[in-house]
Amino acid sequence: MLTTTAIRRIGLPMVALLILAQMPRICRAHAVLMDSTPKPNSIVKGPELDVKLRFNVRIDAGRSSIHLVAPDGTVSTLTLANQAAPNLLQSRVTGLRPGAYTLRWQVLASDGHISRGAIPFNVS
């Protein structure tokens, strides 16, 4: 017969093991930005800029977006290029003038979770 102490010694490690086994699935639940062009807080030359956002998981480009916030506060939606890789969003921006900009992105991961973020940068 198992005692309460024995159940705790066996049961708690088993629960911890089950939680740890689920961690990879939990960690993959949201798209995380791994790399970007431009880099956050970088200074780039205009008037044209290739935008690339690389994520840790496959994303649904058809339901994802990138918006550009200009120095005067106007927001424009960038046209996304065809996906070169399942975890990549790309666009090209033209007509940039010197000043502080922000890229605001929203992506839908293949598991249905939405992630959002912002990348501030400056044009010289």
- Dmax over CA atoms of the chain, in Å, equals 77
> Are residues 45 and 106 part of one domain?
yes
Q: Which domain holds residue 55?
A: 31-123
Q: Which of 45, 57, 62 is nearest to 87 (CA)?
A: 57
Task: Give per-residue pLDDT as tens, 46-87.
Answer: 999 999 999 999 999 999 999 999 999 999 999 999 999 999
Which tokens is 35 given?
């790399």
Q: Cα-flanking dihedrals φ and ψ of residue 5, to 5°?
A: -65, -40
> Are residues 92 and 50 part of one domain?
yes
pLDDT recorded at residue 30: 87
> Are residues 108 and 51 part of one domain?
yes
> Are residues 55 and 24 part of one domain?
no
> Are residues 58 and 18 part of one domain?
no
> Are residues 43 and 19 part of one domain?
no
pLDDT recorded at residue 92: 97
> Are residues 59 and 22 part of one domain?
no
Alpha carbons 95 and 111: distance in angstroms, whole number: 36
Please report which confidence band the pLDDT of residue 14 belongs to, taking 50, 70 and 90 as the band edges. Answer: low
> Are residues 74 and 17 part of one domain?
no
123 vs 17: which has the higher pLDDT: 123
> Are residues 105 and 45 part of one domain?
yes
Count how many domains the chain has. 2
